[in-house]
A and B are shown apart, each in its own frame.
Chain A
Amino acid sequence: MSIPVDLSTTLGNAWFPSPIFTASGCASSGKELAQFFPLKDIGAVVTKSVMSKPRHGRPTPRMAETPSGMLNSIGLQGPGIDAFLANDVPWLLEQKARVIVSIAGETIEEYSTLARKLRSVSGISAVEVNISCPNVENRGLVFACDPDASRRVIDGVRKTIGGELPIIAKLSPDVTDLPAIARGVVDAGADALALINTVLGMVINLDTMKPHLGGKTGGLSGPAIRPVAVRAIYQVHAALPQIPILGMGGVSSGRDALELILAGASGISVGTASFGNPSALITIQNELRELLAARGFATMQQAVGYAHRDESP
């Protein structure tokens, strides 16, 4: 039975038939999940954040399971932008997937360099500017923890890339005043915001009695952080109701996706849930459609931010 709910969404000028996307860093470049469902059936593939040069990432162990969550400490391992654009993007476009390329840099200049390379690539829907990866050597390099650095990164990308391709700034919840950082990157030219990146955490191994992860700290993801995501999305949507939010953080069912949408998300990225369930994105998309229909929404867009409806402006 098909339920007549319009799931389509937009982020800036990019249109997607469904709000359910992969989360950057949790789907590699799509090939692995393509074994389990056609990538064109979901809203978009957000690729793993790519840097200008190939990168090994952090030492193992890179993973620790925690109650209803996990810590990862990958450290942006990847092929570098040139190999990525030569191999991965053409393959994704062949699959008729909509592609959001996520970029990460160590310096403000590196983001601009990456943006320059993307400018000439046709067929991609948007660029996610990941300024909030927690797994870098120096926490001072987490641009999203610094309002000024955040603005300068986005400003550089906007100026390099021109006005066409939507920019999604990916922010960290590990800050004191998230709406202020959000406002800064929007003023600098971000069309949309991705909320939230993982939350910085640590596990100590009781056998070695030392930090378990090779990189000591890691990013916490999974259902354990979902309330943090709902709070962050709710706060930012209240402050900037016109700015679309790509929401993520522990979504593993249609119910979770709807919760983030009600808080203010226009799109939903599914990350850690795919680790435990390779077909999670399709299940979540189907469940979301039914939940929206059951609540009388004819379109997904009508539900965006619906939790805010009785609040005084």
Chain B
Amino acid sequence: MSTINRHAVQQQVVIVGNKRVGAYHQILLNVGDLVKFCKPGNFVAIAVGGDSSRMILRRAFAISRVSENSQYGGTMELIVAPHGSGSKWLCSQVEGTEIDIVAPLGTAFGIPTEPINALLIGGGYGSAPLFGLADVLKSRGCKVDMLLGASVGSKIYAPMEGKRSVNSLRIYTEDGSMGETGRVTESLLDIISQRAIDVIYSCGPMAMLSAITSLVAETDVIHQCAVEESMACGIGICMTCVLPVKNADGSTSMLRSCIDGPVMDGSDVRWDLVGKVPEVAP
């Protein structure tokens, strides 16, 4: 048997919750025992549009959090921004609808064995998987601080119950409609030194991930980021979601963000080459 995505299964599941939260939908799926294998950072690929859909590709969503013993049994929560036709379809599905998912997919955030100081940084709905991660880090005795940023306040996703798992939360919006005016990278280096941050976990737009990587390049901070690249399959067969990543010998490989990601070490990604092709043959 293969070692890639070895816990992934294709399964029909029922939507047991769908409510609007700001600019997003919080969607709850009854997935049963599947939750046992879902780790923070993993994603789910969902078939959209119904049987006669002209949308032939699955949509990938970060798993926000899972619960093993909710009133429905094992549940998986997703935070979905209704932007394109696929995510709009998903957000319009009512409770009780059956959908086809493949999960869990991709790499997970590395969880430290020691109690460390962690800083979680989310951009827009990129904060979704960070709350599940915060729970896990907290349970390992880590100190968890969080920075969330978005263009406007309605695009900040910070649920009440999520806030309980973090020691501090700072919010930034570009228009100043919520929290501080500016971006999450604004005073990042100060925060890192004041709070003796060991590891940054981030999820959000590629420009944010790239900016964090350059800021921490001169520090000892480890930066684990969940990347976002458009993908057709989510399971490693289509080769569309590749990113240029540094190898140990200094050469660059185009790695699939669905299988070798979404969680990658920020310092390994050749952010300068995203959207380009490395010149020298691998």
Chain A: how many interface residues by the 8 Å CB criterion?
Answer: 42
Bound CA–CA A70/B54 (angstroms): 10
Bound CA–CA A32/B256 (angstroms): 12
Which B residues touch A275, using CB under 8 A? 56-58, 232-233, 237-238
With A34-B2, A35-B6, A74-B240 already in contact, the answer to whether A65 and B55 are too (CB < 8 A) is: yes
In this complex, which of A54, A60, A61 has the most chain B Cβ atoms within 10 angstroms of its Cβ?
Answer: A60
Question: Does B76 reach chain A (CB closer than 8 Å)?
Answer: no
Asked if A56 contacts B56 (CB within 8 A), the reply is: no
Interface residues of B in 53-85 (CB under 8 A from A): 54-58
Question: Does B229 reach chain A (CB closer than 8 Å)?
Answer: yes
Q: Which of B231, B275, B276 contacts A63 (CB 8 A)?
A: B231
Question: Does A274 reach chain B (CB closer than 8 Å)?
Answer: yes
Nearest CB of A to B190, in Å: 34
Majority-rule SS of B interface residues:
loop
Question: Does B281 reach chain A (CB closer than 8 Å)?
Answer: yes
Question: Does B13 reach chain A (CB closer than 8 Å)?
Answer: no
Asked if B242 contacts A68 (CB within 8 A), the reply is: no
Bound CA–CA A32/B4 (angstroms): 6
Which B residues touch A32, using CB under 8 A? 2, 4-5, 235-237, 259
Asked if A56 contacts B10 (CB within 8 A), the reply is: no
Which of the segments A23-31, A109-117, A290-298 contacts the partner chain? A23-31
With A56-B278, A222-B56, A278-B102 already in contact, the answer to whether A62 and B235 are too (CB < 8 A) is: no
Question: Does A241 reach chain B (CB closer than 8 Å)?
Answer: no
Asked if A278 contacts B235 (CB within 8 A), the reply is: yes
Asked if B56 contacts A276 (CB within 8 A), the reply is: yes
Nearest CB of B to A66, in Å: 9
With A32-B5, A32-B259, A276-B56 already in contact, the answer to whether A77 and B232 are too (CB < 8 A) is: no
Which B residues touch A67, using CB under 8 A? 54
A residues near B (Cβ < 8 Å) are 25-28, 31-36, 48, 53-63, 65, 67-70, 72, 74, 77, 214, 222-223, 252, 272-279
17 pairs, A vs B, C-beta closer than 8 Å: A32-B235, A33-B237, A35-B4, A35-B5, A60-B242, A60-B274, A60-B275, A61-B240, A63-B240, A65-B55, A65-B56, A67-B54, A69-B56, A70-B56, A77-B242, A278-B10, A278-B235
The 8 closest A-B pairs by CB, nearest first: A63-B240, A275-B233, A32-B236, A34-B2, A62-B240, A68-B54, A54-B282, A67-B54
Apart from A26-B238, A35-B5, A74-B240, what 17 extra A-B contacts exist at CB < 8 Å?
Answer: A25-B239, A28-B237, A32-B235, A33-B235, A34-B1, A35-B6, A48-B239, A54-B281, A59-B275, A60-B240, A62-B241, A65-B56, A68-B56, A77-B254, A223-B56, A273-B56, A277-B100
